Amino acid sequence: MLCGGVASGAWRDKTAGLPWLEYQSSHRLNSEYPYLWFVTQDSLGRLLVGGSGLSVFDGQDWKSYPAGEAVTLRAIARDGQGRLWAAVLNGLGYYTESELGNFQYHSILEHLPEAERQVGHVWGCAVVGRSVFFVGEKMLYRWDGSAFKTWPFPGGSRLLPSTLDGETWVHHRETGLYRLTEQGPMLKVPAEQLPAGIGIQALTRDAQGVLALGSAGFFRLSAPLKPAFSEELNRFLSNSTP
């Protein structure tokens, strides 16, 4: 009778077999900022969230750490020394954790010429060998630990960073798709081999090759270029604005 009652109760439980979900409100995150740009996990299992600054969840409590005077943290990248490089609005810098749970932001903007320090939107960052790249609106910045080198990408649209197989790529609609190397950006797919006017927002790989996601849906980076899935799916993605 007891066993039967337990089994019956579990069978009627609509959540049985579903993954556990835990809701985290803006109030718990200590942030009323309307956008969260990334969620990732560090080696200690803590959740790191980018919004108006860096929010860290240790499993019990949230703590927030500002990125200087910046109000937007869009991406982070960890290097071998434990620093968290940060892509922030109108800023270039990194976080250190001097003691567990105490993150401090350090700006490196002063290493740019004064006339170039209004960097505006920074959409991504990546550690490549001994260098760190920051992906700006129309400028790519490489920091080698002592000085910056920059590459301008003029045009009507912003640079779009993505990752593939642990490497960082950048799409510039006017010239093509670049892979970031320690020496700088290397053009791998010229613009004339890509769909006209489409920004590549994500890259991934399956058994048939490399897939690119843009505003017109999925397509394969192959010669000739071709849609990856059905036209119906691509129309849905195009209308839904991925």
pLDDT digits (tens, 9 = 90+) for 193-238: 888 778 999 999 988 889 999 887 888 887 677 778 888 888 888 8
Tokens of 33: 């900022």
Q: Residue 238 falls within a domain, yes or no?
A: no
Residue 53: CATH number of its domain: 2.130.10.10
User: What is the C-alpha separation between 121 and 27, in angstroms, rounded?
Assistant: 26
Q: Is residue 234 classed as helix, strand or coil in its secondary structure?
A: helix
What's the predicted TM-score (pTM) here?
0.85
106 within some domain:
yes
Instruction: List, in sequence order, every residue forming a beta bridge with 50; answer none if it has no partner.
Output: 38, 54
Provide the pLDDT confidence category of residue 191 given band limits of 50, 70 and 90: very high
Q: Is residue 101 part of a domain?
A: yes
Element (H, E) at 9: helix 2-12
Model confidence pLDDT, tens digit, residues 68-93:
888 899 999 999 999 999 999 999 99
Mean pLDDT of the region 14-24: 76
User: What is the H or E stretch that residue 10 is in?
Assistant: helix 2-12
Query: Does the residue 86 lie in any domain?
Result: yes
Would 180 be classed as within a structural domain?
A: no
Cα separation, 93 vs 101, whole angstroms: 19
Task: Decide if 239 is inside a domain.
Answer: no
Looking at residue 139, its pLDDT comes to: 97
Identify the pLDDT of residue 11. 58
- In 3-state terms, what secondary structure has residue 141? strand
Q: What integer pLDDT is reported at residue 128 of this predicted model?
A: 96
Omega cis (within 30) before 224: yes
pLDDT of residue 31: 67
Q: Domain of residue 136: give its range.
A: 30-152
Q: How many domains does the chain have?
A: 1
pLDDT at 89: 94
Q: Give the confidence band of 1 by pLDDT, cuts at 50, 70, 90.
A: very low
pLDDT band at 10 (very low <50, low <70, confident <90, very high): low
The arrangement of strands across the sheet holding 102-107 comes to 73-78, 84-88, 91-99, 102-107
pLDDT beyond 60 at 56: yes
